[in-house]
Amino acid sequence: MNRIEKTVWDLALPVVEGAGLELWDVEYVTEGGQRYLRVYLDSPDGVDLDQCEAVSRTLDPILDEADPVPESYIFEVSSAGCERALKRPGDFERFLGSLVEVKLYSASDGAKQWLGELLAYEDGDVTIQSGGDKRRFEKKQIASVRLRVEM
């Protein structure tokens, strides 16, 4: 998490918790030449549009006052979603046994994407059960890990 994301996290946390929700993630990224500041919410009961709007309306003036972002940006508040990224150790612990997609920086055994059941997370390394095989990926190999929902 970079400095801007950490500052926004600290500003957003009391707002999100005050709304009875969980702060899942904060992203500050560039896409298509535009800067985006995204706040992702979670709840055991799911997150609806009204909750996102309420958090956005409360948090927006706080961000304007604190001014943690030096340039203009597009501000978005949304649900973490069913196929959310897992980033922190607690995320992995929470979803042990779940289906995940592991994307690698370079191919391992001919593939850059692996789908399997999340078996373990240790110091950034991820172990999945893929088919009949256990596969362990080192932190330095992993570009991202996301939950997968199959219907």
CATH number of residue 7's parent domain:
3.30.300.70
pLDDT value, residue 53: 97
Lay out the sheet containing 22-31: strands in order across: 22-31, 34-42, 74-79
pLDDT above 70: percentage of residues in the chain:
100
| Domain that includes residue 40, residue range | 3-79
| Six-digit token string for 85 | 């990224």
What is d(CA 130, CA 143) in angstroms, rounded to the nearest whole number?
A: 18
Which ranges of the chain have pLDDT less than 50? none
Same domain membership, residue 16 and residue 56: yes
Same domain membership, residue 98 and residue 33: no
Same domain membership, residue 109 and residue 45: no
The total number of structural domains in the chain stands at: 2
* Terminal-residue alpha carbon distance, the chain: 33
Q: What is the mean pLDDT of the chain?
A: 95
